[in-house]
Structure 1
Amino acid sequence: MIIFLHWAALKYRKLPNYSCKLVGCGILLTGPTWAASSKIGTFLKIFHHAQVRLCYKCYKLIHYGPFHPILSDHYQYPHLYQIAPKNTRLAFAMVSLLLHFNWTWVGLAIPDDDQGTQFLSDLRENIQGNELCLAFVNVISLNMELYNTRAEIYYKQIVTSLANVVIIYGEMNSTLELSFIRWAYLGIQRIWITTLQLDVITNMKGDFMLDSFLGTIVFSTHHHEIPNFKKFIQTMSTSTYPIDISLLKSEWMNFNCSEKESKCQSQSMCLPNTSLEWYADQGFDMAMSEEHYNLYNAVYAWAYALHETLFQQVDVQSMTPRYLLDCPKVCSFYHALKNIQFINPVGDLVTVNENTKIDADYDILHMWNFPRGLGIKVKIGQFSPYMNIGQQLYLSDKTKKWTTGSRQIPSSVCSETCRPGFRKFWQEGKAACCFDCFPCPANEISNNMDMDQCVKCPIDQYANKKQTHCLKKTVTFLSYEDPLGMALACLALCFSALTALVLGVFVKHQDTPIVKANNRTNSYILLISLKFCFLCSLLFIGYPNIVTCILQQVTFAVLFTVAVSTVLAKTITVVLAFKTTAPGRKMRGLLVSGAPNFIIPICTLIQLVLCGIWLGTSPPFVDTDAHSEHGHIIIVCNKGSVTAFYSVLGYLGSLAVGSFTVAFLARNLPDTFNEAKFLTFSMLVFCSVWLTFLPVYHSTKGKAMVMVEVFSILVSSVGLLGCIFFPKCYIILLRPSRNSVQRIKKKQPIYF
């Protein structure tokens, strides 16, 4: 549409590029496509440069279509102005809507021109870092012949894509609009996000689902409603203002009149020359379109500029030639037009100067697809770039109801959302929106959707089974309330009492041959040390503190050293006793002097020295173990110096191996009470227990380590007690006849 407004006398009808004194200076309103304005702007540039008179710049253009950055090039288009506000934030507005509905996998259709290229660049800049991806980019050729050859490719690209949302950016009356209509005709159901101001969204299949969000979302420049415009349209008679009835949705009227006659109060409402009020009642959109609103503002801009020019006129000398009289007025008018800024009748700010233009606010309209091609626009929100971050996009309550389930909004993602407890794992060579979901590693959580990385729980917390939250760990230790702790404590007390009972039996029968044989003092020392070995296991049960941690290891090491060295002394005593009874032997002095008894203090002293070094360098201390048991923080005693611990344990082990070796070599000696055999078997049990202890101890953690150590103490002590003293108690209590001097004199060995 081109409007040529004259303000010179109509009697001067000369071609404007010949003479300035006979000019028809005016304004051209061009649009709505930027291409038409571009061609006319280029033509006027050439035309004005060819003018040789004083007033060669007589014509100006006002583009009333959408704002286009290319038309802002004043070198290329020096006589062209744009009335529409800037749309540089359109891409950001669309991205904000996509993020709101979590549409991360979208398609794009743009024209093959500078406008489409600029929008693609803006869109990519805004989606960067927002985890949005373009599934495809349809660059629609503007050449009709080339478009016809590629139309099928454009169609397949949309149909085969998983993207349910497609952005269409371009102008009306182009191959892009033709593509849109073709895709709708072929029944492609997508969410179309566009700037195309289509009056009718055609769905030739007649396939509409009321509970579906499928349809078209239009971003339209926000403006206030023109006063009385709807009333004028509603009361306008088609006979008074002949117009194309197709623009008034005749198919909808015919459909309702033929199928639902009850809605037609009379048949006259179905005639072409009737009032349009009935159309408005049926839901037609009577609001002024964006391009018509820009045209409305362009006319007002011309009127305001003319008013200011006439108001500022001054008297000119009567002798001044007419063309010199007109030219200042013309130049003043164009200057006023270039800098015009006003509030139009509906309250919107209008400016022609691009240096003072502001970015547009956008109305977000949702168009429903009814049968027979009726399109109903529903405003669902608004975008304002001047609001605070997070408040720029506003959606109505009706849209919020759609998002909460009253109407199902389809998703548009390349990969399904990773739920809490999982993290994204990107596929190599694919877009950032395409990923797999993997469970979080142990003791790590993700409590939001689509988390890139899982978060490790603090040391005092642990991940729940779904790995969505960190829970507080429970502080625990081997306590007396624990079933295993209680059982071990009871065993320790029982065996300690049993040892005391055996000691009482030996004291009571201390003058009997079986007690006197093989040094009863050593037997007392061994029984006392075993009693305390049982009791020292109680130090491992209960809440650890620095004292118990030190006593645990030192007491254990010293008491077992005494016990094992006593067994070694008893074994050597048996060997010496046999040697002294053989003819020609001279070792009676060693046995009589009690030399084997010095083994006990010497071996114990060495162990005390090792323990002293251990305590002096790196003693045991209270520690926490947050990793051994899921959901628990275990209070344990740390050994301190591991080298010192294994040195003490190694020394004890060497004593045990030495005792076992001596006892094994003396096992067949013909002593009266088979003492050597019992000592051999007791040390075999002792060594077996502690050899098993080492690998099991290292394969367990937390409370299990303490349990293993306590169990090893109890079993090894029971082995020594049972193998050495139970046979003697059997003779003392149940077979007293064998515990006599006569039996010993006969030198008959006693076997059990």
Structure 2
Amino acid sequence: MAKNRVCVDFELVLTNDILLHKTKLKTVNNQVSKSSANVFIIHGDNELLLVVQVTVKGKICIMNSQWDLTMSRDCFLLGSSQVPLMFSYHHPDVSGFTDFVKAVNPSKYPEDTFLAEVWFLSFNCSDSESDCGTWKNCAYDASLDWLPRHVLDMALSVDSYNIYKAMYTVAHALHEIILHQAEVQNMGNKKETVPTLAQLHALLKDIQFHNPAGDQVIWDETRKLEAAYDIVNIWNFPQGLHLEVKVGTFSPYAHQLSLSEEMIQWTIASTEPPRSVCSISCGPGFRKAPQEGKAVCCFDCIPCSENQVANGTDMEQCVKCPDHQYANPQRNQCLLRAASFLAYGEPLGMALVSMALGLSTITAVVLGVFVKHHNTPIVKANNQALSYILLISLSFCSLCSLLFIGRPNSVTCILQQTTFGVIFTVAVSAVLAKTVTVILAFNVTSPGRRMRWLLVSGAPKFIIPICTLIQVTLCGIWLGTSPPFIDTDTHSEHGHLIILCNKGSLTAFYCVLGYLGSLALASFTVAFLARNLPDTFNEAKFLTFSMLVFCSVWLTFLPVYHSAKGKVMVAVEVFSILASSTGLLGYIFIPKCYIILIKPERNCLHGFREKRH
């Protein structure tokens, strides 16, 4: 049964004397009644049948053919309660047997007391004490053929056929012995001998023949033929009518079971085969979880975990989908993930691209205004060269954000962080140089001071290449040890395969970001200390506010960046780049452009002095 995936709830071996042990019988009854099984396979003899009629109420009984159901009709023929199916040994019809049964009567066999009893009970006859062959109150042509089929089946039973084969076997054996003796006598030995039981037994072991019914008979256990079976269903419709109906066969040679389900009378109330399972089958998307302490076929159906599927019935384990696939909501199929990245064509990508191009254009316009009005006092007073470097770097800062948009590749992954780090270092170091220049300019009040020499020699301009060289060195170490590379994220968005750039070495990334933050903090500190210098040529206040915005943006960026996932994380970094660039451009250059373009009367030394007074 286990080999053929049949689950057995329990197994009982009952002895014929179990009726004498009422306590044990009660235990058996309780075990059977509590079982969730609806099908019981019973193998036994007629004596054991008395036990079964107590135990299996309302169940389907599959039995061997040795049982005489007429002995327990009240047990098995309850219509809607029992459905007996018997595996009956298949045997051919014996020619003339039915005609013999129809013609038999007690007058032909007066010595057969069993036949006389059957006749008396079946036809309500009485026998004459003076003449056993004369029967009163019986029809002259009375025959066993008159009896209903559920009282007497005219077909040859299995037991009768086995007797039939045995008698023919003995006859064949005796015939062989007699032939052998005849041959011996013909050879000159005139002595007649009576066959012994030993001779008969030795011959029976090796005998092989076909009986008159056409069935092959072999008594050797080593050459025993596999038995074929007829599957018989007991009909009880209407109530009390006992009919054995052949509904299928089993062939041992082909190992094939044929069953006509439409012929089986299951119960009065149902035409569908009943189910006898501990648990219903787990459909696709579920796996079996055994129930502790119960049979192996008793289980719970547990839904598959995330990104796992079960595409069959009664799956023991769920199967994990490959990284490039994901499980559908029903958990019964792996679907191909759609590639996802911050694309130019989607609304978020288009908005960021528009902002980057717009900011770069504005920066270029401001640079053009400064170049065009390079001879004006306000442009000269704020160090033309540093302003040009800062504006150019801010324009590239805006454009470098475009490297983060679109499908990542090996080149863009390497350029994203390194370009961002180097260009922003140039911009922040330019702000630091402008701030230092302002401080030096306002502290040169008398000739001969050392600060005057620093200002005249252009020492603040060396801040930019030195700071940039340090950042370039850090980036070089980063690329030489663990550079960024293309990676995929399968967890952030359901059903999507996010293509992104892995930072490679997070330590190197935070070193680049930390160095940039240190420069920004230094620029903010220096500008804050110089904010109270005279206003005529002082842009320290604007530099302070610009660096305050810059630092605020990147301090906010860190927690937001780490909490974001997928392409939102990329969008946060792009937005931080654009926001910090806007802060630098807005607070440092927009006020100057306002004076140059809107208030040109103030773009002179006289105007500054009037504003100061």
Q: Residues 551-570 of structure 1, C-alpha deviation per residue, up to 9 Å, x if partnerless?
A: 22222121111111111111
> Counterpart of 2:508 in 1: which secondary structure?
helix
**1:177 aligned to which of 44, 49, 69:** 49
By how many angstroms is 1:699 displaced? Answer: 2.9
Looking at structure 2, the residues matched to 458 and 370 of structure 1 have their Cα atoms a distance apart, in angstroms, of 59
The C-alpha deviation readout for 1:460-487, integer Å capped at 9, x for no partner, is 2111111111112222322112222222
1:149 deviates by 4.9
Choose the corresponding residue for 2:194, options 326, 336, 341.
326
For the pair 1:189 / 2:53, whether they are aligned, the reply is: no
Task: Find the aligned partners of 1:164 and 1:696 in 2 and give their Cα distance.
Answer: 62
1:504 has 2:504 as partner: no
Determine if contact 1:197/1:290 at 8 Å carries over to the other structure: no
Query: Aligned partner of 2:233: which letter?
Result: H
Alignment partner of 1:622: what SS?
Answer: strand
Q: Does residue 1:132 correspond to 2:7, yes or no?
A: yes
Match of 1:372, SS state, is: coil
Contact map agreement 1:202 1:369 (CA 8 A) in 2: no
2:166 maps to 1:292: no
Q: What letter is aligned with 2:8?
A: C
Q: 1:198 is matched with which residue: 27, 52, 68?
A: 68
Residues 637-646 or 371-380, more deviating: 371-380
What residue is the counterpart of 2:378 in the other structure?
514
Give the superposition deviation at 1:190: 0.8
Is the contact between residue 44 and residue 67 of structure 2 (CA under 8 Å) also seen in structure 1? no
Pair 1:409 & 2:288 matched: no
What is the Cα deviation at residue 206 of structure 1?
A: 7.3
Three-state SS of the structure 1 residue aligned to 2:209 is: strand
Offset at residue 629 of structure 1 (A): 2.4
Whether the 8 Å CA contact 2:76–2:83 is kept in 1: the answer is no
Contact 1:238–1:273 (8 Å) recurs in 2: no
1:532 aligned onto 2:402: no
CA distance in 1, matches of 2:106, 2:384: 133
- Deviation digits for residues 503-540 of structure 1 (CA, Å, limit 9, x no counterpart): 22222332222222221221221111111111111112
Q: Whole-Å Cα distance in 2 between the matches of residues 661 and 271 of structure 1?
A: 135
| SS class of match (1:550) | helix
| Deviation of the 1:374 alpha carbon | 2.9
Give the counterpart of 1:627 among 487, 491, 508.
Answer: 491
CA distance in 2, matches of 1:552, 1:337: 97
Partner of 1:336: 203
Structure 1 distance, partners of 2:141, 2:413, is 103
Secondary structure at 2:204 match in 1:
helix
Letter in 2 for 1:180: V
Q: 1:168 to 1:509 in 2, by over 3 A?
A: same
Are 2:161 and 1:305 equivalent residues in the alignment?
Answer: no
- TM-score normalised by length of structure 1: 0.70
> In the alignment, which residue of structure 2 is the partner of 1:162?
36
Matched letter for residue 156 of structure 2: M
2:135 alignment partner in structure 1:
none
Conserved 8 A contact 1:686-1:719:
yes
Distance in 1 (alpha carbons) for counterparts of 2:360 and 2:336: 40
What does residue 575 of structure 1 align with? 439
Within 1, Cα distance between the matches of 2:594 and 2:562? 39
Q: Decide whether aligned partners of structure 1 residues 144 and 620 sit closer, same or farther in structure 2, where only a CA change above 3 A counts.
A: closer
Letter in 2 for 1:379: K
TM-fit CA distance, 1:191: 1.4
1:726 is matched with which residue: 582, 590, 597?
A: 590
1:272 CA drift (Å): 11
After superposition, the Cα gap between the structure-2 partners of 1:620 and 1:148, relative to the gap in structure 1 and judged at 3 Å, is closer
- The offset of 1:548, in angstroms, is 1.9
Pick from 1, 8, 16 the counterpart of residue 142 of structure 1. 16
CA deviations on 1:14-45 (whole Å, 9 max, x unpaired) are: xxxxxxxxxxxxxxxxxxxxxxxxxxxxxxxx
Change (3 A) 1:286 1:667: farther
Secondary structure in structure 2 of the residue aligned to 1:220? strand
* Identity within the alignment, %: 56
1:275, distance to aligned residue in structure 2 (A): 6.0
- What aligned pairs does 1:594-605 form with structure 2 within 5 A after superposition? 594-605=458-469
Change (3 A) 1:742 1:158: same
SS at match of 2:597: helix
Residue identity in the other structure for 1:311: L
Structure 1 letter corresponding to 2:180: Q
TM-score, normalising length from structure 2? 0.85
User: What is the one-letter code of the residue matched to 1:537?
Assistant: S
**Greater Cα offset, 375-384 or 485-494:** 375-384
Asked whether the equivalents of residues 579 and 585 of structure 1 are also in contact (C-alpha less than 8 Å), the reply is no
1:361 aligns with 2:228: yes
Corresponding position of 1:565: 429
Query: Which of 199, 205, 208 is equivalent to 2:79?
Result: 208
Secondary structure of the 1:373 match is coil
| Correspondence for 1:218 | 86
After superposition, the Cα gap between the structure-2 partners of 1:246 and 1:143, relative to the gap in structure 1 and judged at 3 Å, is farther
Check the 8 A contact 1:423/1:454 in 2, yes or no.
Answer: yes
| SS in structure 2 at match of 1:432 | coil
Q: State how many pairs are aligned.
A: 588
| 8 Å CA contact retained: 1:667, 1:677 | yes
- Residue 443 of structure 1: CA displacement? 0.6
Tell me how far 1:245 sits from its aligned partner: 7.9
Answer whether contact 1:731 1:739 (CA < 8 A) is retained: yes
Shift of 1:434: 2.8
How far is 1:152 from its partner?
A: 3.3
Deviations 1:355-382 (A, max 9, x none): 2213333333333444533343343433
Partner SS state of residue 326, structure 1: coil
Of residues 463-472 and 535-544 in structure 1, the stretch that sits farther from structure 2 once superposed is 535-544
- Distance in 2 of aligned mates of 1:498 and 1:682: 17
> What is the alpha-carbon distance in structure 2 between the residues aligned to residue 371 and residue 675 of structure 1?
112
CA offsets, 1:563-593, max 9 Å, x none?
1111111121222222224899641221222
Which of 471, 495, 519 matches 1:607? 471
Equivalent residue number for residue 698 of structure 1:
562
Contact 2:86 2:232 in 1 (8 A): yes
Distance, in Å, in 1 between the alignment partners of 2:118 and 2:200 is: 37
Q: Secondary structure at the match of 1:478?
A: coil
Question: How far apart, CA to CA, are the structure 2 residues paired with 1:400 and 1:672?
Answer: 110
Give the one of 177, 180, 184 matched to 1:315: 184
Comparing 222-231 with 160-169, greater Cα deviation is found at 222-231
Question: Structure 1 residues 693, 155: CA separation in 2 closer, same or farther (over 3 Å shift)?
Answer: same
Instruction: Give distance in 2, aligned partners of 1:416 and 1:654.
Output: 67
Please give the secondary structure, in 2, of the residue aligned with 1:436: strand
What residue identity is the alignment partner of 1:130?
R
Match of 2:354 in 1: 490
Residues 685 and 719 of structure 1 are in contact (CA less than 8 Å); yes or no, is this contact kept in structure 2?
yes
| Paired amino acid for 2:42 | I
Match for residue 684 of structure 1 among 541, 548, 551? 548
Work out whether residues 202 and 372 of structure 1, in 8 Å CA contact, stay in contact via their aligned partners in 2. no
Q: Structure 2: how far apart are the matches of 1:459 and 1:399?
A: 53
For residues 533 and 594 of structure 2, the distance between their equivalents in structure 1, rounded to whole angstroms, comes to 22
Deviation by residue 1:407-430 (Cα, 9 ceiling, x = unmatched): 333322333332322222233344
Q: Which runs of 5+ in 2 are unaligned?
A: 109-114, 125-138
Given that 2:33 and 2:55 are in contact with CA atoms closer than 8 Å, whether structure 1 keeps it comes out as no
After TM superposition, the structure 1 stretch with the greater mean CA deviation from structure 2, 565-574 or 699-708, is 699-708
